[in-house]
Each structure stands twice: as C-alpha cells, then as structure tokens.
Amino acid sequence: MICKKITELSGSESDQLLSRGKGLTDVGSAVDAILENVQKNGDQAILAYAKQFDKAELSTLEVTPDEVEEAIASLDSNLLKHLRQAAENIRRFHAAQLPKEIWYIEDTPGIVLGQKTIPLERVGCYVPGGRASYPSTVLMTALPAKVAGVSEVIVCTPPRADGTVHPLTLAACKIAGADKVFKTGGAQAIAGMAYGTKSIPSVDKIVGPGNVFVTYAKMKIRDYAEIDFPAGPSEVLIIADDFANPKMTAADILAQAEHDPNSVSILVTPSEKLAKAVLEEIEKQSETAQRKEIIEASLKNSAVLIAENMQECIDFSNKFGPEHLQIMTDPEVEDTVLNQIQNAGSVFIGNYAPVPAGDYASGTNHVLPTSGYVRMYSGLNTAHFLKSFTIQRISKEGLSEIKDAVIDLAETEGLFEHAEAIRKRFEE
C-alpha cells in the first residue's frame, strides 16, 4: 500500500494508481476465441465452457421455474424480507428518474416539436458469480429495466459446480421480475446474449459489471448489442479530514478491498494525524478479516495519500475519477467539496454514508463505470433502458417561417434538391 504525500508520488506510483484496469488487451486473444466459438457453436460451446471454467456439468442452460421456487423456499424469511426492502428502495429511486414519455414545444407558431421516449424490447443483465453471490446486482440491473418498461429482461450468471445458481440470486431474479435466467458466466455469457443461441435470445443491450474478460467481451460485441459502459474491478476514493472517524474510514477501505484482488481503495486527506490513525486501523482490522487474502492483494493496489490542503484532495479525486467517492469531512465543507467534484460514479457524504449502503439498500445503483470512465459515462439508471425519437408537426405557416433559412443553407451545402423540396411547397 502506497503511503506518502501526493507531491512525493513517483511517476510509476502515479501511473499505477491512475491507470488501473486498463489492461483489457491482456485477455484479448482468449476472449476473442470464446466469442468466435459461441457465435459459431452456440449452446454447445457455452455448455463446454461451463464444464471448463465452472466445473459444472449442465444439460440445459435455462433455470426452470421449479428451481426458482425451490431456491426461494430454502431461504430464511428475514433474508427475503431484507431483499424485498432493498428492492423497493431501488424501485422507488429509479422510478423517480423516469422522463416524460412524450413532450412538445411550439416556440415558432406552426412548428410543433417533440420527443417520445420508449423502452428497449429486450435487455440482458450480467450478474457475476465466482468468489461471491451477487443478488444485489440482479436488483440493480433487472429492476431499473423493468421500471423503464423493458418487455423482456434476461439474466446470465455463472453456475456453481453442482450445476445450480445461488438461491439468493434466483430469489432476487424473481423479486426483480426477470423473465428468464441462464446458467452461464464470463465472456461466453456476453457472447450468448449478443449473438443469440438456441436457448439464449439475443438482446438489444447488455448491462452489468464483471471482470476483465467480461468487460473486454462487452466492448467487442457492440456491433450486435449496445452496452452500458466498462465496469471492471471496484474502487473507492475517500476525501477526509479530521472530522472523519479513523475506524470507520479503515472499515470502508477494507470493505472495498474485499471485492477483488484488483480492487483499488484510496484515502486522500490533508491530515497526517488521520492518515496515521487509518493505517493503524487497517492493519488492526485486516487481521480478523474473513477475506484476508483478497484484501491483502487489493491493498497492494491502494494508497493513503496526504495532501497539502483540501483543494489538492479535490483535484486528485477529479483526476482519478473514482467509481465510488466518499466525502468524510467537516459538514461545513461538505457542499464546498461536492460542488467541485466533476468525475465520480456515485458520491457518499458523511461518516454514516458508507459505500455498502448504496451497494445494497439505499436505492441508488451500484453498477458504475470504473477505471476513470466516469469522465464520459453515467452510472446505470433508467435512461440506459430507454431510447427516444423526435417528432415534428409543421404547418404551411410554420414552414414559411424557416423556408428561407433551409433553402439558403441547403444550397450552400450543394444539396439543391433539398432546397427544391421546400420551394415546391410554396409554388402556386
């Protein structure tokens, strides 16, 4: 873990922190081969990859309704209650994001302009598996799609070695309203949803986080299906001053670190006292962590950085562009910091707004751009599941208001029949 002043970072250290997750080409040849195989051989290829990567012997890919009901029946009622509570918060927040279905303006008499927004027809949600089950990701992907009005939502998630999907994941699929669930993960799942197979229907858009193999696959299939954005290993940046609680701050860093060996956690603070206290807490708390090996690997990618002042913290954060940004400062400067943030996937403010709150139950979405892509992408929201087209209703009087402008501009561009299409409407 890097521990030093920002001004003392070496070039290689700075590159290590700022260029995280950019090594997609390292897996390119392997993923390209998987995509080609699935496109050519469909279900047969996906079933073979389930055996190779997941150690699962499958005869079919689709989860049956009986499997879903059995999974739900096996779960503790309190766990299901909490899953439904999280789902309701997520549903309400994303419903608030919905735009008007249709709207019009008439700034020029006789020219009525509008826009109609409609949902996509079929969307695929990728839900990771492997090191942990992620029912929360089902809620974060399938629920906003359903709120947006998507007709068919399918979920792809890796099977366990015994050929089943984790019961919590299946329960979340039921609660979120997913229409179909398939037992496949990795690049092969992305290929199946993009190209379509005998079992898996092709989709209009693929959403959801994943490892570098999944992210590379999503970037490669965009001629067949749109994607949300690149979403790789998770990351957090914490801007904090002496108001922050060192124990909570360290816990937040470890919570992020346990996601993945490639996760990145950074504390930026103008307080050397806080930096020292947080480092001590990280060492102390990590000793009893259950996912200690993953945390230790992740902390090698992470840093505690000391800034000259709060402005330097803000500037570093904007340059880094974190997936998750926590602002743990004196409440009197919270808004000052927030107002200067330009690049962040989701922002958490205060000692009692840890990232796990948003990961599960506050209602905001945890599927967010990583690796600095927040400079150009927004986190998953209902708009990702919608498309719009514009409308023009123009009378003769309205067209007369703009005809000279259209004719002049068309002829300037050398498109003379464009101009004639206007003139003909005003000939006697």
- Give first-to-last CA distance, the chain, whole Å: 80
Determine, yes or no, domain membership for 173: yes
pLDDT at 269: 98
Please give the structure tokens belonging to residue 180: 């179909």
Same domain, 347 and 276: yes
Same domain, 7 and 73: no
* Contact indicator for 230, 373 with CB cutoff of 8 Å: yes
Determine, yes or no, domain membership for 378: no
With 60 as the cut, is the pLDDT of residue 329 above it?
Answer: yes
* Closest CA relative to residue 140, chosen from 367, 379, 413, 343: 367
Dihedral angle of Cα 366, 371, 375, 377, to the nearest 10 degrees: -50
Same domain, 169 and 281: no
In 350-422, DSSP assigns E strands to 386-394
* Contact indicator for 235, 322 with CB cutoff of 8 Å: yes
Please give the structure tokens belonging to residue 305: 């950085």
Determine, yes or no, domain membership for 238: yes
Q: Is 94 annotated as a binding residue?
A: no
CA distance 413 to 144: 44
Q: Is 256 annotated as a binding residue?
A: yes
In 133-209, DSSP assigns E strands to 152-157, 180-183, 205-207
The CA-based diameter of the chain, rounded to the nearest angstrom, is: 89
**Over residues 393-415, mean pLDDT:** 97
pLDDT digits (tens, 9 = 90+) for 245-295: 999 999 999 999 998 888 999 999 999 999 999 999 999 999 999 999 999
- Domain-ending residue, one of 184, 199, 227: 227
Chain centroid to CA 167: 23
Determine, yes or no, domain membership for 385: no
pLDDT at 40: 98
- Domain-ending residue, one of 363, 384, 412: 363
pLDDT digits (tens, 9 = 90+) for 46-93: 999 999 999 999 999 999 999 999 999 999 999 999 999 999 999 999
CA distance 309 to 98: 40
Same domain, 125 and 182: yes
Same domain, 7 and 34: no
pLDDT at 389: 97
Q: Is 378 annotated as a binding residue?
A: no
Band of residue 21 on the pLDDT scale cut at 50, 70, 90: low
**Over residues 142-165, mean pLDDT:** 96
Q: Is 245 annotated as a binding residue?
A: no
Exposed e or buried b for every residue in 268-294, given b needs 16+ CB within 10 A? Answer: bbbbeebbebbbebbeeebeebebeeb
Same domain, 215 and 331: no
- Which residues have a catalytic role annotated? 323-324
pLDDT digits (tens, 9 = 90+) for 185-244: 999 999 999 999 999 999 999 999 988 899 999 999 999 999 999 887 889 999 999 999
pTM value is 0.91
Same domain, 223 and 99: yes
Band of residue 407 on the pLDDT scale cut at 50, 70, 90: very high
Q: Is 188 annotated as a binding residue?
A: yes
pLDDT at 210: 87
Determine, yes or no, domain membership for 376: no
Q: Is 377 annotated as a binding residue?
A: no
With 70 as the cut, is the pLDDT of residue 154 above it?
Answer: yes
pLDDT at 232: 76
Same domain, 221 and 345: no
Determine, yes or no, domain membership for 34: yes
CA distance 352 to 76: 28
| DSSP state letter for 200 | S
* Closest CA relative to residue 179, chosen from 155, 205, 203: 155
Q: Which domain holds residue 321?
A: 2-21+233-363
Which CATH number do you get for residue 11?
Answer: 3.40.50.1980
Burial class of residue 134, CB neighbours in 10 A (0-12, 13-18, 19+)? buried
CB atoms within 10 A of CB 397: 11
Q: Is 384 annotated as a binding residue?
A: no
Same domain, 46 and 194: yes
Look over the chain and give the mean of its residue pLDDT values, rounded to a whole number. Answer: 95
Same domain, 199 and 76: yes
**Over residues 381-408, mean pLDDT:** 97
Same domain, 175 and 268: no
Determine, yes or no, domain membership for 382: no
Same domain, 179 and 255: no
**Structural domain total, the chain:** 3
With 90 as the cut, is the pLDDT of residue 130 above it?
Answer: no
Determine, yes or no, domain membership for 374: no
CA distance 170 to 168: 5
Lowest mean pLDDT among 148-152, 203-207, 214-218, 416-420: 214-218
Band of residue 19 on the pLDDT scale cut at 50, 70, 90: confident
